[in-house]
Structure 1
Amino acid sequence: MEAISRKSFLQQCLWFGTAISFSPFAAQAWNEKRMDDDFYQKLVLANAKEVARVVQLLATDITQVRRRLGYDLANVAAAFCEPTSQYYQSAELIPYLTKMARALLKAQHADGTLDFGNLASPPDTAFILEPLCAAATILKSNNTAALNEVKGLLREFIVKAGEALRTGGLHTPNHRWVVSAALAKINALFPKPGYVNRIHEWLSEGVYCDSDGNFLERSMNYSAVIDRSLITIGRLLPLPALFEPVRKNLGLVYFHAEPNGDLVTNDSRRQDQFSSVSILNFYHDFYYLAIRDNNPEFSAIAKYIETLNGFNDRVLTDLLVYFLEEPLYKKTLPEPKAPPATFEKFFKGTNLVRIRRNDITTTLFGGTDFPIIIASGRANSPNFFAFRKGEAILKYMRFSTDFFNTGYFHSQGIVHSAGKYVLHQKIEAPYYQPLPDKFKRADGNYTHSQSTDGRFWNKMDFQHRPQSNINTLETTISVEEKNGSNELNFSVEGTEGVHVVIEFCFKEGGTLTGLKKIEGGSDNYSLESGSGEYRYGNDSIKFGPGVFKHASLSGLEGEMYSSHFGSLRTDGMHVFLTGITPFLHTIVVG
């Protein structure tokens, strides 16, 4: 990653008045050098607090085994084995360890699998083995005789599960590496050639990571899973070459990160393309490679993640386990060096643009998986623009029309020209003529096929029918970033009289001024003229001028979603601008 000087960066932070809660690497982060002993004690205390919670829960019977039980057991084991913990060598913990281990064995199928979401699932069983094997590793070096039963129960569960992973199947690309990482941990505890052979069998398929740093699923949820899995395999077998795709992916993760730690997921092929994912999930990976590679920028990112809301609850709680399992974690992080807080990155492989000017960010998405199909494994987000200014967040902009119920605009890529990013979509909707005689069937039972415009299916043998009355709609949206603001030019040509809708969705909880509340709608507003303003805390986003030529705001998703009775509406404060083709309009957001 391109670096900027510490002096220059601090000047930028001070000039823009950034604060640590919103912007990574603000000035105060560099003036508070963390003492490793203090941090380690902090995670020991967090572990003790979690163990107290777990002990209280275990006062009643374990009625259902969930994935979290693996971390509960690992945290209790870590507390027992950590000399500075208030629970060190505490005999009261042993019955709880035993209770959890027995519950796991009781829930385990004869083939070694557990039911987590999917029935008798090898990959889901692999997920719980990550903390369980860490617990077994920690307990292995503790010679307390009273632990022998727990060790035996854990060994029985792990070895039985190992056979399920050595022979079982899976569903998705990331499962290969989750299973392989679990096998690597099992092999480190109870070596067996079959475990290693199976890992190499999966690895022989290749670990795909494109030039931008994306794995196959392009999912931030599963990238975190893959990164941690590859690090585990790489360090235990050892296969250090597996660290390289992790480095590439972590570089991409940083440039996808908003100042508050949220990650951009427009181009994801999994369920997180419409949900919020945090860089918190990648803490272990940045931390590990910062030390292993002596990487000062990864060190800075790891320290920044420690300042984020949620770190204590979502990361610190389970961290002691990893520090006891892998000695490298206890080494001192290298002196941090700030990665760039100002950049412009065009990820051409997925038509995603990220622009950052300290605490102001712009995201553009021009589509990536064509044709648009509503299915897991396909990126189909219609969110083409997003903008943030500190705490003020425009979650997304969308564009829709009622042109033959084709719904939301999905750009057919992005072109960068003359300082502008241009998004474009051309749609043709034909009518169909009678079939030529040579394709006619006496029984009328024609091929069940998709219409040539991809909108629907029917037994009409569309591909062999002549077309007529072809309607066309051509949409061009150009975006030019100017000193922290964006000018968006909309041009919609072709069939006349088409209703168009521009939709803004701002983060819920803010205040809007200059707008008109739409009756009967929940958090729906119109901007009929002039400018509007959205404010959250001390930050605000201004946008306009407005236009409102019609009030047809239903069916924005189009036939593809409505035929499944689905909706893409999200939480937030929704603002609508409308027009009728031919449509030309310019909006400034800043």
Structure 2
Amino acid sequence: MKDITRQTFLHQLTGLSAAVAVYPLIAWKTDEQADDGFYQKVIQANTKEVDKLRQTFATDIADIRRRLGFDLANLSAAFCEPGSPYYRKAELIPVMEKIIRFLVTKQQADGTLDFGNLASPPDTAFILEPLCTTATILKTADLPSLTDVKTLLKQFILKAGEALRTGGVHTPNHRWVISAALAKINALFPNPGYVRRIDEWLSEGIFIDKEGHYLERSMIYSEVIDRCLITMAHLLKRPKLLEPVRRNLQMTYFYLEPNGDLVTNDSRRQDQFMTVNCLPYYHDYRFMAIQDANPEFAAIARYIETVKGFDERINNDLLAYFLETPLYKQPLPTPKAPPVNFEKFFRETNLVRIRRNDTTTTLFGGVDFPFIVASGRSTSPNFFAFRKGEAILNYMRLSTSFFSTGYFHSQGITYAQGEYVLHQKIDAPYYQPLPDKYKLASGNYAHTPSTDGRFWNKMDFGHRPQSNIKTIETRIGVREKDGANELRFSVKGAAGVQVTIELCFNVGGQVSGLKKIDGTADSYFLNGESGRYTFGKDTIQFGPGLFKHTKITGLEGEVYSSHFGSLKTDGIHVYLTAVTPFEHTFRIG
């Protein structure tokens, strides 16, 4: 493995999309002044948000939504911040009362709300986060005019607190969402029962592997867990709860793309097929940068401030956090550049990240076997991705027509002599009659999966002798070479099997050197020596091509097609096609 080297953090900002502002490096060297100016921007963002909220709540509230909690927190922050033009403005009080009164009327007898899921303790916990923030902020304003708002808030929070103290969860992160909400309630209205329930959940253990992944391996839910652990550590005075947060944030940086996207190939949740942004991590990096005087976390926090959407999605809500937890308002330590040249092999999830300034490569070969399509399991067929500035190859996939087994899913990744190897071997048998001792006169045999995992039926497959076994073996070697990637494909075993290699580039770019596929909007064959994909000033070149057949549909295999499912995404799709046995060396850079 190559050693990680440190480069100036300015390089990280090179090649960002035009929509991403470049934060000037010199501003990081005057951190206290920068934070003074930044806080004024936080107040301004809150003011704009409150301007909109006054118009929004001029009409009746139609639906329960989590955002209502943040709306109330933002209104309370404006009311209590002396630097805000809305400071102690009476016109905000009826709006605050309208929101909390609506939530009280929608609260179930057990204290929960029906949104997201029915009578859901975890979803109720999510909205309690900003509602408790509101109650904390309003404690600083001892005004008779706020009595009704505070009374309704207390009523809602305490009733919901009982639901959280006794209610259950669905997913791993829900345990910590509920625990963090209970910690917030306890800070407002102390109750040993809340802490006992938190300890009951914590006694199960907070799993984090040695590389920094939580159980769900999800960029969405890892951020949720980080924030929950920060809340509990801060309010319960349990600094040990910050250790998994540090480890996860250290790992998350290596999943960060130059434009602010996060790699999600190895997630076990829905984001494995989504584009996820780093913006929500701002709170966590800022808190931990200040808490630990961590200069690299400070640099990442400063970087996130430059990412598209920061003002609309993060800054508009920050004032409430700053007022609730003064540590957020403290100056960041002087930033220090994280590495922008690195090669990291995450062996726990079989994911590789290679970054050379504004060029990145991602390899993935760690789906959960046996292969089952379900939430909570890693199933992504995206084994390779490549970014060169603004030019983005979202993914590369490989599929065969071998008994409709669908996309290639590597059985791990190995590394030797500068090459990463992805590999899969599939055996597809035919089945002989059951031995006499397993035969049933009723014919009502066990409902079992076929041994190759393609389908289920009441044929007791596990007890049947197999014959005519066919095999296909796929090997993909990936080597970084001269600033590009060389991929060596080998698919052997059964002869005459169609193989399709699929590349999906980001929407909005331009391609050349390809053959347009009739009847499609943005699909092409690569049948020549090379193709090009250009977005803005950046170009990815790739080739040589292969064109031996025209199969580009049904690539997902029988697991998906039996339920009319598809994994095809938006983008510019380019196909190489071959027939086994074949070997092919492909270069992209």
| Same-fold call, TM cutoff 0.5 | yes
Q: Does residue 288 of structure 1 match 2:294?
A: no
Q: Structure 1 residue 191: deviation in Å?
A: 0.4
Residues 326-363 of structure 1 show CA distances to partners (whole Å, capped at 9, x for unaligned) of 01111110000000000000000000000000000000
Q: Structure 1 residue 165: deviation in Å?
A: 0.2
Q: Does residue 459 of structure 1 match 2:458?
A: yes
Q: Does residue 160 of structure 1 match 2:159?
A: yes
Aligned twin of 2:147: 148
Partners of 1:198 and 1:31 in 2: how far apart? 44
Q: Structure 1 residue 449: deviation in Å?
A: 0.8
Indicate if the aligned counterparts of 1:426 and 1:474 stay in contact, CA closer than 8 A: yes
Residue identity opposite 1:422 in structure 2: V
Residue identity opposite 2:106 in structure 1: A
Indicate if the aligned counterparts of 2:220 and 2:271 stay in contact, CA closer than 8 A: yes
Q: Write the mapping of 1:80-479 to structure 2, written as runs, cut at 5 A.
A: 80-479=79-478
Aligned twin of 2:550: 551
Q: Structure 1 residue 463: deviation in Å?
A: 1.2
Q: Structure 1 residue 249: deviation in Å?
A: 0.3
Q: Structure 1 residue 483: deviation in Å?
A: 3.1
Partners of 1:10 and 1:445 in 2: how far apart? 66
Partners of 2:12 and 2:324 in 1: how far apart? 38
* SS of residue in 1 equivalent to 2:91: helix
Partners of 1:362 and 1:106 in 2: how far apart? 51
Q: Structure 1 residue 478: deviation in Å?
A: 0.1
Indicate if the aligned counterparts of 1:13 and 1:27 stay in contact, CA closer than 8 A: no
Distance verdict in 2 for CA 1:197–1:423, change over 3 Å = same
Residues 521-544 of structure 1 show CA distances to partners (whole Å, capped at 9, x for unaligned) of 231111102100000000010000
Distance verdict in 2 for CA 1:180–1:575, change over 3 Å = same
Q: Structure 1 residue 414: deviation in Å?
A: 0.3
Partners of 2:71 and 2:263 in 1: how far apart? 31
Residues 373-401 of structure 1 show CA distances to partners (whole Å, capped at 9, x for unaligned) of 10000000000000000000000000000
Residue identity opposite 1:254 in structure 2: Y
Indicate if the aligned counterparts of 1:20 and 1:307 stay in contact, CA closer than 8 A: no
Residues 217-265 of structure 1 show CA distances to partners (whole Å, capped at 9, x for unaligned) of 0000000100000000000011100000000000111000000110000
Q: Structure 1 residue 369: deviation in Å?
A: 1.0
Partners of 1:285 and 1:10 in 2: how far apart? 20
Indicate if the aligned counterparts of 1:29 and 1:304 stay in contact, CA closer than 8 A: no
Indicate if the aligned counterparts of 1:20 and 1:29 stay in contact, CA closer than 8 A: no
Q: Does residue 575 of structure 1 match 2:574?
A: yes
Partners of 1:585 and 1:406 in 2: how far apart? 22
* SS of residue in 2 equivalent to 1:533: strand
Residues 74-129 of structure 1 show CA distances to partners (whole Å, capped at 9, x for unaligned) of 00000000000010000010111111110010010011000111000000000001
Aligned twin of 1:70: 69
Partners of 1:11 and 1:194 in 2: how far apart? 50
The percent of aligned pairs where both chains have the same amino acid is: 66
Partners of 1:571 and 1:116 in 2: how far apart? 30
Residue identity opposite 2:432 in structure 1: Q
Distance verdict in 2 for CA 1:413–1:383, change over 3 Å = same
Partners of 2:15 and 2:274 in 1: how far apart? 29
| TM-score normalised per structure 2 | 0.97
Partners of 1:568 and 1:67 in 2: how far apart? 30
Residue identity opposite 2:179 in structure 1: S
User: What is the aligned residue count?
Assistant: 586
Indicate if the aligned counterparts of 1:478 and 1:490 stay in contact, CA closer than 8 A: yes
Q: Structure 1 residue 4: deviation in Å?
A: 5.3
* SS of residue in 2 equivalent to 1:35: helix
Indicate if the aligned counterparts of 1:20 and 1:28 stay in contact, CA closer than 8 A: no
Aligned twin of 1:562: 561
Indicate if the aligned counterparts of 1:10 and 1:26 stay in contact, CA closer than 8 A: no
Q: Structure 1 residue 436: deviation in Å?
A: 1.6
Partners of 2:11 and 2:89 in 1: how far apart? 51
* SS of residue in 2 equivalent to 1:397: strand
Distance verdict in 2 for CA 1:25–1:473, change over 3 Å = farther
Indicate if the aligned counterparts of 2:425 and 2:473 stay in contact, CA closer than 8 A: yes
Indicate if the aligned counterparts of 1:22 and 1:259 stay in contact, CA closer than 8 A: no
Q: Structure 1 residue 26: deviation in Å?
A: 7.5
Q: Structure 1 residue 367: deviation in Å?
A: 2.0
Distance verdict in 2 for CA 1:168–1:477, change over 3 Å = same
| Consecutive unaligned residues in structure 1, runs of 5 or more | none
| Consecutive unaligned residues in structure 2, runs of 5 or more | none
* SS of residue in 2 equivalent to 1:103: helix
| TM-score normalised per structure 1 | 0.97
Q: Structure 1 residue 22: deviation in Å?
A: 6.5
Indicate if the aligned counterparts of 2:28 and 2:34 stay in contact, CA closer than 8 A: no
Partners of 1:160 and 1:351 in 2: how far apart? 45
* SS of residue in 2 equivalent to 1:315: helix
Residue identity opposite 2:92 in structure 1: L
